[in-house]
Structure 1
Amino acid sequence: MGLLLRGGRVLNLENGELESRDVLVEGKKVARIASSIEADAHEVVDLGGHVVLPGFIDMHVHLRQPGFEGKETIETGSKAAARGGYTKVACMPNTRPVLDTPELMKYVYDVAQREGSCSVLPYGSISKGELGEELTDIAALRAAGAVGITDDGVGVQSSSLMREAMRIAASLDVPVVIHSEDEDLAKDGCMNEGVVSKRLGLPGIPGLAESAMIARDILLAQETGAHLHVCHISDAWSVELVRWAKSMGLRVTTEVTPHHLLLTESIIDETDGADANMKVNPPLRTELDRQACLKGLLDGTIDMIATDHAPHMEEEKKRPFRTAPFGFVGLEFAFPVLYTELVEKSSALSLHELVKKFATNPADVFKLSGGRIVEGEVADITVVDLESERAINPDEFFSKGRNTPFAGQKAKGWTVLTVNEGRITYKA
């Protein structure tokens, strides 16, 4: 049985217009888009004028399985993704065991096929065990379906190891995805280094710990020809470095999180450093850094939005700020919070520009299906309600994680229907 989405307004990604269209799905593909479609033997969903978008793609999530199923599983994380309008997510390898073998790639794909509510694309690690000492078999990881390679969670400290990884990755056309952190500069920091960290007496992580590593890896990418993708950019100088790399024609792309676009270290100051739900890595930085990230998003320096969805157990986030784990969840409200703040309130972005950052650009950068609603292409579709407003409520999350600084914030743009490869995976 096929699926007929009737009475929606399909976003035209070229001109930003909302066009009244029905969408017919047969199998895993979009069969037809027209102003009015009649179809027998199809499940019909009346969209009531809601907005039809390409399914969102998040290239940076932590699903925690295997090893940390108390925090999240592929099942719960993908359900959260579907509730947030995501049809594809790429999961990081800092699990236990680390995703560093073809067998573990297969494990993730098998579990996702059996229990998942969206397409799950695993990254393989750059180094065995993410120890930064010995390279994995990058060719074997790619052959097993790795969407890229990364030691996310830690930065690769060895320049020679990273250089060799990039050489191999370039020959295989595998994206090298970096957590940019010079550990010698970051040391035991737990928030941004600056006026606030000094006032609170907390050890800081300087922006230089991020930008210095990005500078190194841009030069390595220039030499090797590798596609370098910078995770969760947060620092003003980092944005400038990526802007320079793009101006030189290098294959350098980057992502930014909702929290680095909207929040600063001031929220840690407001809680007197007592709430570890404000603790994330890279840390929330200054207003200057936030503005630089926003400018980078607007001018195309920053290619896409990624949540860095990082669930933790409640008792972990109740620890003192210094010792609590880093990370926020974000899959279930990333689009509403950014639509509300950047499109509706400030008009910094148009709806179609935001959607490109959520769907089209990730698909293009990582050479994935989806990112557009086109006849004959995969039926990855998200339907959102741009009118109804409600507060972000962690008690309603499908994710096991509740750790977010956005709790209670009101937003519009909530997902009402998600379709992944022709299958309804979420319906409000």
Structure 2
Amino acid sequence: MTTKHSERGGAGERSGAITLLRGASIMGGEVRDLAIRDGVLIDPASIDDDARDAVEVVDASGLVALPGLVDLHTHLRQPGGEQAETVATGVRAAAAGGYTCVFAMANTSPVADTQAVVEQVHRLGLEAGLATVRPIGAVSVGLAGERLADMGMLAGSAARVTVFSDDGHCVADAELMRRALEHAASLGAVIAQHAQDPALTRGSVMHESPLAAELGLTGWPSVAEASIVARDAMLAEATGARLHVCHVSTLETVEVVRAAKQRGIAITAEVTPHHLLLTEELVRSYDARYKVNPPLRADRDVRALREALADGTIDIVATDHAPHAPEAKQAAFADAAFGMVGLETALGAVQLAMVETGLLDWAGVARVMSTAPAEIGQEPGYDAPLEVGSRAHVVLLDPAARRIIEPTALRGRSANSPFLGVELPGSVLHVWHGGRRTVAEGELQLEEAAR
């Protein structure tokens, strides 16, 4: 069967069957075929003549092939926040955005600080089938910042936790953070820190600047982020541990991370798509869709973040996908919940901010949105480029497409996106997760993914 951007998964998902992706631009470069059999990329030249009639062909001409995207920072809300998102709805959004693996943050209710909760999240991901879900374990019990969670138990569970974070809360106590880093080092795990000094951000709702004073909103100083990163970099150096910095948002933090890397400290960092594009000026509308933690910053910070991602100071893009029920955002700006959804718009936002500005090519996008996040999260099989023998986690993207983001088009449960009504470039047309088709012609393939 030969199709132009094939309508459904099928042949490529059956045991021994082959799907041929014809004429794709591999990470924006060489144009060649890719072939999938039994969940693995194979050499198209190895397909026997006798088997060619049974091969499903997807015309990938004009499309960019990327490794399946990996998000190291997703909030799936379940258990406890199902009114905003569930694991099932979250992975629908993930698959539609080109993601084949997401790491689910621990700030659920109950918190992911027990074996029962991380294994529940892991199981729900397996049942959903559209993308791999890797639970992140809490650093402290209840995210309270007082006692370490049993990290060894979480690491040894069926969920195999490799990343620990109290995201949404900073591990503000230096002694607790030191012990967390020591324990993580003994487990071969990484601590992902939400860098926000609570003493400097009480009541803060937007970036500290003249605009905050003009709008009558409490400002959030850049030093509240950079100072925690500086402290934690020193603790990571002292303990020999791996530190990951969540959602870097300021020029000052970029400078701290850069200096730490130059010292040889084992530090990595992420930036969100919205911090690569949006500035505090949007808060003039008092629209709570633009309220996020950390806040949208100044133009100078956006420029610094883009440059740091391009030069490798910032290692990855992570969405910080943070869904909320409508009532949580339909409030005065100061009272509304922090957070934005981002799984379905991340690739388009990165294309606009980084590719179309010439700061990254598509191979660079593959590095910061696929292979490097998988390496940091220690997720084998997702950290490989599109080579023969690799697991078939593949995205086909039409880079020439343009789409206006509409709330009714989002597959997740919440629509608190800062990009509603905005035209973004690129369209994810096809996704294979371990050889199973999860998206075809931009439509989710729920039955195929669940097989």
What is the TM-score when the length of structure 2 is the normalising length? 0.90
Q: What is the correspondence of 1:260-339 to structure 2 with a 5 Å cutoff?
A: 260-269=275-284, 271=285, 274-339=286-351
Q: Report deviation, 1:364.
A: 2.5
Question: Quick check: 36-45 or 184-193, which moved more?
Answer: 36-45
1:152 aligns with 2:181: no
Aligned to 1:348, the other structure's residue is in SS state coil
The residue aligned with 2:78 is 65
Q: 2:404 and 2:45 mapped to 1: Cα distance?
A: 35
Offset from partner CA, 1:69-104 (integer Å, 9 cap, x none): 010010010010000000011010000000001121
State whether structure 2 residue 30 is matched by structure 1 residue 18: yes
Contact conserved, 2:20 with 2:44, CA < 8 A, in 1? no
Aligned ranges 1:67-216 → 2 under 5 Å: 67-144=80-157, 145-216=160-231
Q: 2:413 aligns with which of 400, 403, 407?
A: 400
2:7 aligned partner: none
SS at 1:411's partner residue? strand
Distance 2:113 2:224 in 1: 26
Which amino acid counterpart does residue 403 of structure 2 have in structure 1? R
Structure 1 regions of 5+ residues with no counterpart? Answer: none
Which of 376, 379, 382 is equivalent to 1:365?
A: 376
Letter in 1 for 2:439: Y
Instruction: Compute the displacement of 1:171 (Å).
Output: 1.1
> Which sits farther off after the overlay, 150-159 or 102-111?
102-111
CA distances 1:108-152 after superposition (whole Å, capped 9, x unpaired): 111111124100011000001111111111111111211310000
CA distance in structure 1 between the aligned counterparts of 2:360 and 2:172, rounded to whole angstroms: 37
- For structure 2, list consecutive stretches of 5 or more residues without a partner in the other structure: 1-13, 443-451
Structure 2: how far apart are the matches of 1:3 and 1:382?
17
Distance 1:19 1:334 in 2: 25
Structure 1 stretch displaced more, 74-83 or 104-113: 104-113
3-state SS of paired residue (2:127)? helix
Contact 1:333-1:414 within 8 A present in 2 as well: no
Per the TM alignment, residue 42 of structure 1 is displaced from its structure 2 partner at its CA by 4.5
Does 1:347 pair with 2:358? yes
Distance 1:96 1:200 in 2: 34
Q: 1:37 Cα shift?
A: 7.8
What is the SS of the residue equivalent to 1:202? coil
Q: Give the direction of change, closer, same or farther, for the CA distance of 1:343–1:84 in structure 2 (3 Å limit).
A: same
Q: Deviations over 1:311-357 (max 9, x none)?
A: 1111211100011000011111111122133222x222222212211
Q: Take 2:424 and 2:18, find their aligned partners in 1: how far apart are those partners?
A: 29
The answer to whether the 8 Å contact 1:74/1:116 transfers is no
Q: Identify which range, 370-379 or 123-132, moves more after superposition.
A: 370-379
> Secondary structure at 1:78's aligned position in 2?
helix
Check conservation: 2:274, 2:349, Cα contact below 8 A: no
What's the offset of the Cα at 1:34?
5.0
CA–CA distance in 2 between the matches of 1:373 and 1:422?
A: 13
Do the aligned residues in 2 keep the contact of 1:268 with 1:275 (CA within 8 Å)?
A: yes
Counterpart-to-counterpart distance in 2, 1:339 and 1:242: 24
User: Post-superposition shift, 1:259?
Assistant: 0.9
Matches within 5 A, 1:48-63: 48-63=61-76
- Structure 1 equivalent of residue 251 of structure 2: 236
Look up the match of 2:435. Answer: 422
CA–CA distance in structure 1, aligned partners of residues 92 and 43 of structure 2: 28
Q: Is the 8 A contact 2:306 2:353 kept in 1?
A: no
Alignment correspondent of 2:5: none
Kindly state the Cα deviation for residue 176 of structure 1 after the two structures are TM-superposed. 0.5
Find the aligned partners of 1:29 and 1:35 in 2 and give their Cα distance.
13
Contact 2:148 / 2:180 at 8 angstroms: preserved in 1?
A: yes
Q: Which moved more, 1:347-356 or 1:324-333?
A: 347-356
1:173-223: CA deviation from partner (whole Å, max 9, x where unpaired): 101000001101011111111111100111111111111111111111010
Of residues 222, 233, 237, the one that matches 1:218 is 233
Instruction: Give how far 1:26 is off.
Output: 2.0
Instruction: Find the aligned partners of 2:48 and 2:325 in 1 and give their Cα distance.
Output: 47
Contact preservation (8 Å) 1:30, 1:378: yes
Contact preservation (8 Å) 2:321, 2:343: yes
* TM-score where L is the length of structure 1: 0.95
Q: Note if contact 1:8-1:51 (Cα within 8 Å) is conserved in structure 2.
A: no
| AA matched with 2:20 | L
Kept in 1: contact 2:67–2:386 (CA 8 A): yes
User: 2:162 touches 2:188 (CA, 8 Å); kept in 1?
Assistant: no
Q: Compute the displacement of 1:310 (Å).
A: 0.4
- 1:379-420 CA-to-partner distances (Å, cap 9, x unmatched) read 111111112211112220001111122112212221001111
Question: Does structure 2 conserve the Cα–Cα contact (< 8 Å) formed by 1:4 and 1:45?
Answer: yes
Structure 1 distance, partners of 2:206, 2:315, is 25
- The structural deviation recorded for 1:363 is 2.0
